[in-house]
Amino acid sequence: NGPLESSMKMLCRDLDLQDRVTFLGARSDVAEILAQSQIFVLCTHWEGLPRSIIEAMRAGLPVIATAVAGIPELVDEGNSGLMCRPRDVEDVTNQLRALIDSPTRRVEMGRQARQRYLDHFQFDRMFARTLQTYDAVVAYKAVRARRGTASVTVAGPSP
């Protein structure tokens, strides 16, 4: 749902796609919907660090997404998913066709997506990394306060 919902529904009618596109609205059963899926696609012009991709990887789905903002940090190109250029319908179509036409590749990418989720994006791991960053900032401020100024590098493990 959202401000473009009615225009998107009208576009589906104009393109005669209403039997192939379902507007689900806000849902509380995302995990169940993803479990019934084989590929996850997120075509967006801007997205911070989309939780929807993390949820798709948790479900073991290969991801096709536009390479914008934080998305390349989530998707391991060619392993857990495929990246496409923003606003490039042909690129998205080709990436989707590649996964539809190769069930073996689709399943392997889904397996790797699930493993990437387990290795990098489970709550406990993300919480620990965030806490590590905050601890480094607090330590930096404490050193700076004691010594006037100091140079400290804040770095954590990358995904």
Quick: pLDDT tens for 80-91.
999 999 999 999
Q: Per residue in 91-109, pLDDT tens?
A: 999 999 999 999 999 999 9
The per-residue pLDDT for 48 is 86
d(CA 82, CA 76): 8
DSSP string, 35-65: HT-S-EEE--S--SS-HHHHHHHHTT--EEE
What are the CA-CA distances from residue 61 to residues 36, 89, 113, 156, 158 (Å)?
10, 21, 6, 27, 22
Q: Give the mean model confidence (pLDDT) for residues 103-125.
A: 93
Asked if 64 and 95 touch (Cβ cutoff 8 Å), the reply is yes
Phi-psi region of 78 (alpha: psi -120 to 50; beta: other; left: phi over 0): left
**Nearest CA among 77, 155, 65, 156 for reference residue 116:** 77
Could you tell me where the beta strands, DSSP code E, fall in the chain? 40-42, 63-66, 81-84
- Is the overall model pTM greater than 0.85, yes or no? no
| SS3 at position 83 | strand
